[in-house]
Each structure stands twice: as structure tokens, then as C-alpha cells.
């Protein structure tokens, strides 16, 4: 017996179109209990007249999101609203959750600013929530954290988590030039957007750190306290033994105190992170039972992100998962001059 | 309503004792559907008189495995029989599967030699099978491969997968000495056993490669065709820009042809693997949707391995998973002089 699962897409940009193609091409899914057929019934877009690169004939396209979230045949909404702004996105997610739709997210800024609220809503309205695509694309890091037993306590997480900035820093090292010159080259190549300030100033990494700390440490970090350090105007060290990376670092002590850092750090050539270059990301997880482990992959890309969202979709129908956040007692920033001491050689 | 799940341990050595402690300390598990209480009812050991480091009072200890596998109150058997030999281990696993017990394995040699048979048995007798602890300890790589959608096809897997050999090679690099001298130092320190030939000659890596190819590529590789290249007697290169690692590499083409390699390879200093040192492992997965991703962690250790097995235990009660193997059309070894060309810088 095939059970039909109606899907609503929220957004049809680069990522949305890749998700659309994946679901269209792979709509049948079987597991132990069910055979499932996924079908996209409706798509919310900002501009219904914009030309799309996928064939949406037969599917209801609308710029009124209520026509998606109120549709009783839609079970799960997939949010790909990257450019829409956090407020508009959370308004729509909120409405979808109230209508009992499961939610798959990709907009990290929206999730970071509203994580507590979205988790509370999902738990209250008894819907499943997934957001692998908000952090490190297809690694998959969120699912790994979700699969850890509660006894396996995470003490620290750190790594390189913004592809744009890492790409520019790699150009800086490769050509032995300063950051601003490398940024110009990247812009000319069309690899970075004209306004990459959220990437370069560390906000993108801060959002992702908050999301990871929320899953892995159940910690509700206040974004206003993070104050990331920008990498703009960094001067090239002209030293082959050291590379500068934009890193995030978050540590939780047994009494629920959080220490964190987002910004540049010097990494020695024996450090695994030294060789994480271009648009690759890496997340290290240090936990009580498993010691230090790391997860590496491309941090961005339409196909990679869509693949993560598609696996989120399958995961919702494989097992339920409930998130929770607890308050942190204190939240303290680590000094830039001290951060490099936190990484041992070879980690 | 708490459902009681009876557990039978097969083996109570280093890993078995860590698993014992984990289950004793964390016997309650709740998920969406059930509250579960795990209880160890019986333990099979080779020598019932041997002194144990855990308190087994009240638990039936026996050197007759039938008293474990025939126990109707035992639902799942956890195999920690590392030293017993592949034939004895598979005899017991076979018996347990016939009695309808779910199986969690840690013995990689047994699994590698009997993978086809064990999977067939598990599928036929409708029991769940997990074996995270057979490859790379707690990374977790098996579960990552199992969670990938079938459309996300794995083209290649490679990496550093034997902790002992990697540790000795790291000593070789660190002190600028040849392999045999480094091995003696490691033996004196008690880090390697007196007979590490399975590690050094590449058989341990070959078993793990076969297991990974079985899950990730559904390929049934014949162990007799692998002929790993030993790293013993390697001479130190005395070149800081290159490190030698023992690697595994397996590639699958669209017509189900497999190419593979196990043995030493030269890695340049820009390669992420260059910095995977001591007892750390890394597995790279290159797939159609997600590109190149990698998973890094300690490859060995009682606690890490036990943690992986414990998470396997929880996973069985979260969702069902069925393995399958398909025959490979051809299976070809890559020449040692060509293997380094297969890794691009920075992968």
C-alpha cells in the first residue's frame, strides 16, 4: 500500500529548484513500515511571474503562502527562502507549524534568530523539524549530533564553517596577498557576491555555531552576545607554517557555562584544519565517549544543499526526533589572542 | 509503559566490559513510540573462571553460547569476540540469527569473511544487523552510509583506516626514522602488539574496505583478490612535503566495476590526509549529490568502540535497515605507482 505524502515548497530559487528536481526524480521511498510517494502539491514564491528553470506545470504556484500551509493534503513544508529575510520566513514557518505541517529548513539566519521559538512551536504542535541544510550543507553534521546518545556529552565543537570566507582566505594564502586583494579577485571571478559582509564579518559562522550548539549542547546561545571578529583587512602572514582560517569554537562546561569564539585564528601546518581549503568546511566534535571526531565536506552548493534537504525528508518518515534547548548559565567570549591555544596539534 | 529488552553479550574482554558498563549505566531509553529498558541477561565467555573488571553478579555467565542465543528473553546479541577467531564467531552469530536475535557486531575479520552470508541470514530471519564498531570506531561511518538516499550514489571511498599502522608511520615521520625502527619503538611503548602483521600488511584495512564497500556500494568484494601491499620495511623519505600513509581506496564505475588499492601512498602536504596522524582515522566518501565528504576520528579504543555499539543498540529500536550486496562485474587492483594520482590536492 503506497501512502501519498503531499509536499509544499516554500521558495523556488537555486536551492528550491534542486529540491524540486530531487523529489520529482525520487518520489518513491520504501522503508520497513510504508511505501511512500512524495508529491509536490503547491509552491510559494515571491514572484509568480518569474521564469523558472524547472517544469512546474500542474503544480499550484502562489505568492500567498496560506494557499500552501492551509492545504490539508500537504504534510510537510520545505523551506528554501534564503533571500526572503528572517522575519518573513519565520512568519510562514510559524503558520505552517500551526497547521500541523512538518518543517524542513535551509535558512540559517532565520533559524538562528528564532531557534527557541521554532523548537517550542514544533514540540507543542507535535510536528517534526529538520534543518541539515542550515549548517555545512551535506556533511551531514546535524544528523550526526542527533544520533548521539545522551550519555555521550559534547564538550566542544569547533571548525571552519563558512565556505565564502574560507575560499577568499585560501586565495590569500595561495597568492601571498592580503585579504582585501583576495576578496576583489573572488568578486571578479563571481565566486563571492558583492556584499559578503555577513560571511566575512563572521555572522554566518555565528548563526551556524548557534544552531550546532543548540542541537549538540542543547544550549540556547544569545546571538547578541557573540560579537564575531571580522577577517576583513587581514594581512598575509607570508609564512608557510601558519594559515589563518575563520573559525568558530564553542565549549560547554559541566555547570552549563558556555565559552565561544568566532573569528580568525592561526593554525599550524600540523593541524587538520590547516588543509581545509576553498569552499570546504569542517566541524570537530569533542565528546565524552567518542573523543575528537570531525566531519568535512563542501559547505555550500545547490545540489549538496538539496541533497541534505531530501535526506531530511526521508528521515522524518524513518524516525521522530524532538529537540530541546536549556538555558546557559553564563556565556563568555574567548579572547582572539588565546583561541589558537585551544587546538592541539593534529586535531 | 516500559518495554524490557533482553540483551546477550558474546564476549567480555576490553570492549565487552565497556559495553557492559554503558548498558548498565544507561539502561533506560525513550523514543517516540516506546520507553525501553535494556537488561543484560546472559554473557558468553570463553573462560568462565577468568577474573572480570565489572560486577557481573546476578547475570548468567556461561561458556556454552547456546545458553545465550537460545534464551527466549534475549532480543539482541552484542558480539565482542575479537580474539576468538572468525570461524567461531560466525558459528555463534549464525546460531543467534536462527533464534531470531538482532545482531550487533564488532569483529571486522569475521564480518569481512562472512558478510554475504551474515546479511543473507539476517534478511532471511528478519533480524536487524549493525556493525559500526567494525570500521573506524566511533566516527560513525557505517551509519552515515546507511542514511544516504539511494540516488546519492557513491563513486569512491578512500582514507586511512588502521590506527596501529598510522601510529607507527607517524613515529617514522616524527623522528625521521625507517618503519622497522619506528615499529620497535611502538612495541616497546606497548602501543602495538608483538604481532601486528595484520595491521602492517594491510589486512585490517582490507577487511574494513570490504565492509565499507558492502554498505556504501553494495559491492561484494572477494577478499582473496585484494592482496594489500605491506608498509613494513618502508624507508623514511626525509622530505617534509610528503608523508606516507597506509591507505585504502575503492572506486565503483557505473557498470559495477570495482577498482581498489590497499597499501602505502605518498600524500602531499596540501592533502587533508597528510595531517591525519597517530591513531586517528579518516574516511572520504565521494558521491553524486554530495561531492567529497570525510569523516575523522579515533579508529580504536575500548570506550569509543563501546559507544559505537551502544548507539547501534539504540538505532535498532529507532528504525529498521536492510542491507544488500550485489555482485561486482570486475574487481581490479590499482598499481602502487598510480595510486597517488587518485587524490587531488586538498581532498
Is the model's pLDDT at A347 over the cut of 50? no
**Whole-number average pLDDT of chain B:** 89
What residues 127-156 of chain A have any CB closer than 8 A to a CB of chain B?
137-140, 143-144, 147-152
Residue A261's nearest CA partner among A164, A142, A159 is: A159
What residues 29-48 of chain B have any CB closer than 8 A to a CB of chain A?
31-33
Contact A63, A44 (CB under 8 A): yes
pLDDT digits (tens, 9 = 90+) for A54-70: 999 999 999 999 999 99
Per-residue model confidence (pLDDT) at position B255: 79
Which among B25, B140, B280 has the least Cβ separation from residue A151?
B25
The more confidently predicted of residues B188 and B195 is B188
Contact B246, B165 (CB under 8 A): yes
Strand A258-268 with A280-287, pairing: unpaired
Residue A284 to residue A161: CA distance in whole angstroms? 10
- The length of chain B in residues reads 347
- pLDDT, average across residues B169-181: 92
Contact: A297, B298; criterion CB under 8 Å: no
Is the model's pLDDT at A234 over the cut of 50? yes
Per-residue model confidence (pLDDT) at position B44: 97
Return the ∠ at Cα A190 (arms to A185 and A191), rounded to 5°: 80
From chain A, pick out residues whose CB is under 8 angstroms from the CB of B320: 31-33
pLDDT digits (tens, 9 = 90+) for B272-328: 999 999 999 999 999 988 889 999 998 778 888 898 999 899 889 887 777 777 766
Contacts of A193 (CB under 8 A, 6+ apart): A187
Is the model's pLDDT at A231 over the cut of 90? yes
Per-residue model confidence (pLDDT) at position B150: 79
DSSP string, B259-294: EEEEEEEEEETTSGGGG--TTEEEEEEEETTTEEEE
* Phi, psi angles (nearest 5°) of residue A150: -65, -20
Contact B119, B93 (CB under 8 A): no
Contacts of B139 (CB under 8 A, 6+ apart): A293, B281, B283, B295, B296, B297, B308
pLDDT digits (tens, 9 = 90+) for B86-104: 999 999 999 999 999 999 9
**Whole-number average pLDDT of chain A:** 89
Secondary structure of B59-73 as H, E, C letters = CEEECCCHHHHCCCC
Residue A217's nearest CA partner among A272, A256, A270 is: A256
Per-residue model confidence (pLDDT) at position A65: 97
Give the residues across from B219 on adjacent strands.
B326
Fold topology of A3-137+302-317: Rossmann fold (3.40.50)
Q: What percent of chain B has pLDDT over 70?
A: 96
Position B33 confidence tier, pLDDT thresholds 50, 70, 90: low
- pLDDT, average across residues B34-59: 92
DSSP A139: S
Per-residue model confidence (pLDDT) at position A319: 76
Element (H or E) spanning A15, and its range? helix A14-25
Q: How many CB atoms lie within 10 A of CB A99?
A: 18
Question: Could you tell me what percentage of chain A is helix, strand and coil, using 3-state DSSP and rounding each to the nearest 5?
Answer: 35, 25, 40
Cell of A283: 566541524
pLDDT digits (tens, 9 = 90+) for A67-113: 999 999 999 999 999 878 899 999 999 999 999 999 999 999 999 99
Residue A133's nearest CA partner among A319, A318, A281 is: A281
Per-residue model confidence (pLDDT) at position A55: 94
Contact B113, B221 (CB under 8 A): no
DSSP B50: S
DSSP string, A27-56: -EEE-SS-EEEEEEEEEE-S-TTS--SS--
Is the model's pLDDT at A346 over the cut of 50? no
Locate the domains of chain A by residue range: 3-137+302-317, 143-298
What residues 154-193 of chain A have any CB closer than 8 A to a CB of chain B?
none
Residue whose cell numbers read 524532538: A322
Q: Calculate the alpha carbon distances from A220 to A2, A209, A327, B111, B212 in Å.
A: 40, 11, 6, 43, 37
Contact A334, A259 (CB under 8 A): yes
Residue whose cell numbers read 509503559: B1
Per-residue model confidence (pLDDT) at position B346: 47
Position A190 confidence tier, pLDDT thresholds 50, 70, 90: confident
Q: Calculate the alpha carbon distances from A296 to B272, B285, B295 in Å.
A: 10, 10, 6
What residues 74-113 of chain B have any CB closer than 8 A to a CB of chain A?
none
- pLDDT, average across residues B202-206: 96
Which among A26, A148, A322 has the least Cβ separation from residue B151?
A26
Residue A209 to residue A159: CA distance in whole angstroms? 9
DSSP B137: T
Could you report the predicted ipTM of this complex, rounded to two decimals?
A: 0.84
pLDDT digits (tens, 9 = 90+) for A274-326: 999 999 999 999 998 888 999 999 877 888 889 899 989 988 988 777 777 77
Question: Do the domains spanning A3-137+302-317 and A143-298 agree at the CATH topology level?
Answer: no
Cell of A324: 530541546
Residue B129 to residue A23: CA distance in whole angstroms? 29
Residue B168 to residue A25: CA distance in whole angstroms? 48
Contacts of A260 (CB under 8 A, 6+ apart): A209, A213, A221, A226, A248, A249, A250, A251, A331, A332, A333, A334
What residues 280-309 of chain B have any CB closer than 8 A to a CB of chain A?
280, 289-298, 301, 303-304, 306-308
Residue B211's nearest CA partner among B131, B295, B309, B320 is: B131
Contact: B307, A298; criterion CB under 8 Å: no
Per-residue model confidence (pLDDT) at position A32: 55
Contact B239, B312 (CB under 8 A): no
> From B275, which residue of chain A is nearest by alpha-carbon distance?
A272
Cell of B247: 591507505
Return the ∠ at Cα B147 (arms to B217 and B156), rounded to 5°: 30
Kindly tell me the sign of the dihedral angle through the C-alpha atoms of B7, B10, B11, B16: negative
Per-residue model confidence (pLDDT) at position A34: 64
Per-residue model confidence (pLDDT) at position A137: 77
Is the model's pLDDT at B113 over the cut of 60? yes
Element (H or E) spanning B4, and its range? strand B2-10
Cell of A261: 569564539
From chain A, pick out residues whose CB is under 8 angstroms from the CB of B274: 275
The more confidently predicted of residues A301 and A198 is A198
Contact: B25, A139; criterion CB under 8 Å: no
From chain B, pick out residues whose CB is under 8 angstroms from the CB of A272: 272, 275-276, 296
Per-residue model confidence (pLDDT) at position B304: 86
The more confidently predicted of residues B64 and A259 is B64
CA dihedral A150, A151, A152, A157 (to 10 degrees): 60
Measured N-to-C along each axis, helices B203-216 and B163-175 cross at an angle, to the nearest 10 degrees, of: 130
Strand B28-30 with B35-44, pairing: antiparallel
Q: What is the CA radius of gyration of chain B?
A: 20
Residue A185 to residue A198: CA distance in whole angstroms? 18
Is the model's pLDDT at B347 over the cut of 80? no
Element (H or E) spanning B115, and its range? helix B108-124
Residue A246 to residue A159: CA distance in whole angstroms? 8
Residue whose cell numbers read 555482485: B327
Contact: A294, B295; criterion CB under 8 Å: yes
Per-residue model confidence (pLDDT) at position B31: 60
Q: Determine the residue among B272, B282, B287, B305 to mutate to test chain A binding: the one whose Cβ has the most chain A Cβ atoms within 10 Å.
A: B272
Fold topology of B143-298: Dihydrodipicolinate Reductase; domain 2 (3.30.360)
Helices (H), A57-98: 66-69, 86-98
Strand A280-287 with A154-160, pairing: antiparallel
Per-residue model confidence (pLDDT) at position B181: 93
3-state secondary structure of B54: coil
- pLDDT, average across residues B127-145: 89
Residue A285 to residue A147: CA distance in whole angstroms? 13
CA dihedral B97, B100, B105, B109 (to 10 degrees): 10
Contact A197, A251 (CB under 8 A): no
Contact: B295, A298; criterion CB under 8 Å: no
Residue A126 to residue A97: CA distance in whole angstroms? 9
- pLDDT, average across residues A187-210: 90
Amino acid at each position: 500500500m503506497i501512502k501519498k505524502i503531499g509536499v509544499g515548497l516554500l521558495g523556488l530559487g537555486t536551492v528550491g529548484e534542486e529540491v524540486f528536481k530531487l523529489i520529482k526524480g525520487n518520489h518513491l521511498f520504501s522503508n520497513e513500515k510504508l511505501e511512500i510517494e512524495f508529491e509536490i502539491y503547491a509552491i510559494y514564491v515571491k514572484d509568480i511571474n518569474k521564469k523558472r528553470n524547472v517544469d512546474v506545470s500542474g503544480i499550484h504556484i502562489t505568492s500567498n503562502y496560506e494557499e500552501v500551509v492551509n492545504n490539508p493534503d500537504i504534510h510537510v513544508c520545505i523551506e528554501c527562502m534564503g533571500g526572503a529575510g528572517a522575519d518573513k520566513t519565520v512568519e510562514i514557518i510559524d503558520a505552517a507549524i500551526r497547521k500541523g505541517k512538518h518543517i524542513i529548513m535551509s535558512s540559517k539566519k532565520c533559524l538562528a534568530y528564532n531557534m527557541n521559538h521554532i523548537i517550542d512551536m514544533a514540540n507543542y504542535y507535535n510536528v517534526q523539524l529538520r534543518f541539515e541544510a542550515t549548517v555545512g550543507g551535506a556533511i551531514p553534521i546535524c544528523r550526526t549530533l542527533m544520533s548521539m546518545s545522551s550519555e555521550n556529552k559534547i564538550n566542544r565543537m569547533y571548525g571552519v564553517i563558512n565556505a565564502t570566507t574560507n575560499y577568499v582566505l585560501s586565495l590569500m594564502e595561495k597568492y601571498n596577498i592580503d585579504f582585501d586583494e583576495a576578496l576583489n579577485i573572488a568578486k571578479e571571478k563571481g565566486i563571492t557576491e558583492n556584499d559578503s559582509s555577513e560571511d566575512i564579518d563572521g555572522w554566518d559562522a555565528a548563526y551556524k555555531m548557534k544552531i550546532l550548539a543548540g542541537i549538540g549542547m542543547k544550549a540556547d546561545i544569545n546571538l547578541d552576545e557573540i560579537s564575531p571578529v571580522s577577517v576583513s583587512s587581514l594581512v598575509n602572514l607570508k609564512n608557510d607554517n601558519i594559515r589563518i582560517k575563520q573559525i568558530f569554537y564553542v565549549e560547554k562546561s559541566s555547570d552549563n557555562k558556555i565559552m565561544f569564539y568566532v573569528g580568525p585564528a592561526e593554525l599550524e601546518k600540523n593541524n587538520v584544519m590547516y588543509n581545509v581549503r576553498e569552499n570546504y568546511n569542517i566541524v570537530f566534535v569533542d565528546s565524552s565517549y567518542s573523543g575528537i571526531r570531525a566531519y568535512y565536506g563542501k559547505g555550500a552548493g545547490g545540489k549538496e544543499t538539496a541533497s541534505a534537504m531530501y535526506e531530511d525528508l526521508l528521515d522524518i518518515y524513518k524516525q521522530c526526533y524532538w529537540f530541546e534547548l536549556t538555558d546557559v548559565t553564563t556565556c563568555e567570549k574567548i579572547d582572539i589572542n588565546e583561541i589558537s591555544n585551544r587546538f592541539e596539534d593534529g586535531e
